[in-house]
Amino acid sequence: MGLLILLTSTLLYSYFHPGRVVDAQRLFILKDITLTIEPSKDVKRGTNVSLRCKATVSQSETWELRREYTVYKDNNLIYNKTSISEEILYPLGEARVANSGKYRCEINIDDKPQRPSETQKLTVTGLSKPQLRLNKGVVKEGEEITATCIAPGEMGSFFFYIYEDSNEIKEKQVSSNQAEFKLRFSSVNRRRIHCTYTVLITPYSVKSEESNNVTVSVKELPITIDLDIDPVTRVYEGDQLNILCKVNGLQHSDESVRLLLIQGIQILSSGLTNVSHSMVAQANYAEEFECKFEMGNVVKTATKTISVIELFSAPTLTVSPDEVFQRDDVTLTCKSESYASERLSEDELTYTLDPPQTPQTPSRKGVFSVKSLRIETNYTCVAEAMRIKKRSKTLTVRPKIFVSTPKISVVGRAILGQPVKILCQSDIGSLPINYTLFKDFVEVSTISINRSSQQAHFEVNITSPEDIKQYICEASNNHRHNKQPLSEKLNAIVIVPPSYAELMAVPDESGIYEGDDLYLLCRADGTPPVTFKWYHVGNNLPLYTNTSNDYSSSYQVPSVSKEHNGRYYCEAFNHVNKVVRSEEVTIEVQMVLWKKALIGGFCLLAVSVLVVVCVLCFRSKRGKRDGAAELSVKPSSPKSDDTLTVTLTHDTEVYNADKDAALLYDGTEGRVTNGVRDSTASLPADISNRSSYSIPATV
């Protein structure tokens, strides 16, 4: 039971700990695996280099482990060995540039893979100098030679290059350290040949130095090319040319041969040893002919150039007059400016017009008359002599359209005192068109229109509304006619901005009564329509806004009341947006007469009632004084008339007729009140203990 538990725990430990291997009898673990490059990771070409792979393993008992070592270069397997040793040594030998790369080592222990070593990079510098060998040093034109370029002692993947002087002529990719090239030279000369090579090392390459130079002498083949042309001098246009091209000294050859007769880029004829061709000389001024022989890559040529004298020049077609309008009669003239008088007379030249027209009887040769030209037409003419025809360039005659009577108008609005823009425009007419503006038939300015997108805009200043009608414009696109179309006189409304505003109240401010309808009439000058606004001072919003085609407008306030009192004003403006403001008008709403009469009646009635009440009260008080024995008022003889002595009785009112004083004493208040003048006088604090007191009569 204990052994089973130990075996189970050992297997679980091996499962959860990579690099540790266990079976029923033995247990091991890979502690480390390393790869080293000896003697160094950076070496020169020819250094003996070895790779050492070492695996350090710990094991439970002493027994021999079977280890399989594998070495990789750039992820490609290059070495594999099975051993019981802790390390292996893989010799690379004398290092070459091709050995450069990234190396790593892997190990399997008892057929169980383990982790790999870290990657090590080997860099080898230095390439051997290439060697060039030729199988021949002297060859004939086109003869093949073999060139071999060798990279001594190198290995890997190569690109070899062959150079003639400093120009690369061939390249080849091989996996060996040498490459062969087949070379042919087509021209006689001494050639210097050398080679180079490049070793491919992913992801870059290393290039060698240049090889030795080898000289090749190329001898000329005993072959000549003859090119005969008849005639070769004083060749005129239209002459018959006979051309012969042939090869001399050609010996038997296994190479393919071909003989070509070429004019410019055109092959006139071809053959093996000789070719011939006949043609009519064309007036190209200088014609070059080439006789070309090809044998393999050997090319020999012979060329001749002949000058061809032009028999007559290509005609020129012109039109008269230069400026043509619809329905005009035009004259077309076709003429060759030069001709070879020693071969051709002017009378031998004939001219025709295309498309054909019904010409008038020409006054001289090559002159054609065309009647009432209406539409655009393309013309060419043909000059012919000695069976040679020459055509002129195409002449396009575009008859111009007479400008129509211009129209004159104002752009936007014409505002008095501001710049006014006037447009002069014709519906039809060929460009360019000159537009001239006149004021009272005196020229103001001229504008030339050269594109359809342009317009003739004139800017003027209007000082009075009547000025606008003095302007007219003229349109012209034909300098041959003195009479040019004139427009009508400019007819436009000149907007006069308002200069003042006036506010009137109806009825007049002094006669406005409650319940009346009030009319506020605002008047202004300026060009209608005019917009009027009425304001009540204290309110920023207008009471009413109205646009009128008249010079005045009114605002009605129905059934006015006291709340309509205040100051009013109005504003006016038209399309100019210049706002003018009136003076303020003060409105005071008065009470109606019947209300005044009613209030006066009520007042009189109230006064009458008050008088009656006062009389009744007076009589009632008089009776009380007559019956009161306790109260006496007597003047103090030794005192001044300004002093009144009052005998005080609580809650008793007395009246002194002589001093015009009515006194009321209230013992609780300690005050004496003058009933007539409604004034008071302070009494002493002990007034309640006195039977009489003297006070000024005016109190």
Residue 420, classified by CB atoms within 10 Å of its CB into exposed (0-12), middle (13-18) or buried (19+), is buried
**Cis check: omega of the bond before 635, within 30 degrees of 0:** no
The pLDDT-based confidence of 686 (bands split at 50, 70, 90) is low
- The reported pLDDT for the residue numbered 699 is 36
Give the model's confidence band at 689: pLDDT under 50 very low, under 70 low, under 90 confident, else very high.
low
- Angstrom distance (rounded) from CA 293 to CA 261: 9
β-sheet bridge partners, residue 344: none
Q: Which of 183-192, 235-244, 671-680 has the highest mean pLDDT?
A: 235-244
**Above 50 in pLDDT, residue 668?**
no
Quote the distance between the C-alpha of residue 403 and its chain's center: 39
DSSP 74-132: TTEEEEEEEESSSEEEEEEEE--GGG-EEEEEEEEETTEE-PPPPPEEEEEE--PPPEE
Instruction: State yes or no: pLDDT of 248 exceeds 60.
Output: yes
Please say if the pLDDT value at position 559 is more than 80. Answer: yes
What average pLDDT does this structure show over 499-506? 92
Rounded-to-integer distance, Cα 645 and Cα 694, Å:
4
pLDDT at res. 290: 93
Q: Is the pLDDT confidence value at 572 over 90?
A: yes
Mean pLDDT, to the nearest integer, of 158-183?
Answer: 93
Q: How far apart are CA 605 and CA 594, in angstroms?
A: 16
Report d(CA 519, CA 365) in Å as an integer.
95
For residue 254, give every residue at least 6 positions away whose Cβ sits within 8 Å of its Cβ, in sequence order, or none.
none
Query: So what's the pLDDT on residue 23?
Result: 46
Burial of 228 (0-12, 13-18, 19+ CB in 10 A): middle
Contact 149, 208 (CB under 8 A): no
User: Region 285-314: what's the mean pLDDT?
Assistant: 86
Residue 32 phi, psi dihedral angles, 5° rounding: -165, 150
CB-CB contact of 310 with 285 (8 Å): yes
Query: Domains in the chain, ordered, with CATH?
Result: 28-125 (2.60.40.10), 131-219 (2.60.40.10), 224-307 (2.60.40.10), 315-397 (2.60.40), 406-476 (2.60.40.10), 501-587 (2.60.40.10)
Q: Which long-range contacts (CB under 8 A, 24 or more apart) does 503-508 make?
A: 503/534, 503/568, 503/569, 503/570, 503/582, 503/583, 503/584, 503/585, 504/585, 505/568, 505/585, 505/587, 506/554
**CA-CA distance, 168 to 149, in Å (whole number)?**
14
Position with higher pLDDT, 491 vs 607: 491
pLDDT tops 90 at residue 2: no
Q: Which of 446, 688, 414, 429 is nearest to 574 (CA)?
A: 414
| pLDDT value at residue 372 | 65
Using alpha carbons only, how large is the chain's radius of gyration in Å? 67
Residue bearing the bigger pLDDT, 191 or 591: 191
Angle at 101 between CA 99 and CA 103, to 5 degrees: 100
**Model confidence pTM above 0.75:** no
Model pLDDT, residue 652: 41
Greater pLDDT, 564 or 355: 564
* Length of the chain (residues): 699
pLDDT confidence of residue 628 = 45
Host H or E run for residue 668? none
How far apart, in whole angstroms, are the C-alpha atoms of residue 143 and residue 186?
8
Digit-coded pLDDT (tens) for 389-398:
999 999 988 8
Q: Which amino acid is at 447?
A: I
DSSP annotation of 486:
B
DSSP state of 282: -
Query: Which pair of structure tokens corresponds to residue 48?
Result: 């003996």
Cβ(55)–Cβ(107) under 8 Å?
Answer: yes
- Give the strand pairing for 530-536 and 544-548: antiparallel
Quote the pLDDT of residue 695.
54
Mean pLDDT on 23-36 = 78
pLDDT for 361 beyond 50:
no
Q: What is the 3-state secondary structure (H, E, C) of 154-199?
A: CCCEEEEEEEECCEEEEEEEECCCEEEEEEECCCCEEEEEEEEEEE
> How many whole angstroms separate alpha carbon 269 and alpha carbon 260?
6
- Minimal CA–CA distance to 513: which of 564, 553, 570? 564
Q: Half-sphere exposure of 412 toward its Cβ, with a 13 Å CA cutoff?
A: 12
DSSP state of 311: S
The confidence score (pLDDT) of residue 24 equals: 46
pLDDT score for 698: 41
Q: What tens digit of pLDDT does each residue of 396-437 get?
A: 888 888 888 999 999 988 888 889 999 999 998 888 999 999
Q: How far apart are CA 38 and CA 110, in angstroms?
A: 28
Read off the DSSP letter of residue 378. E
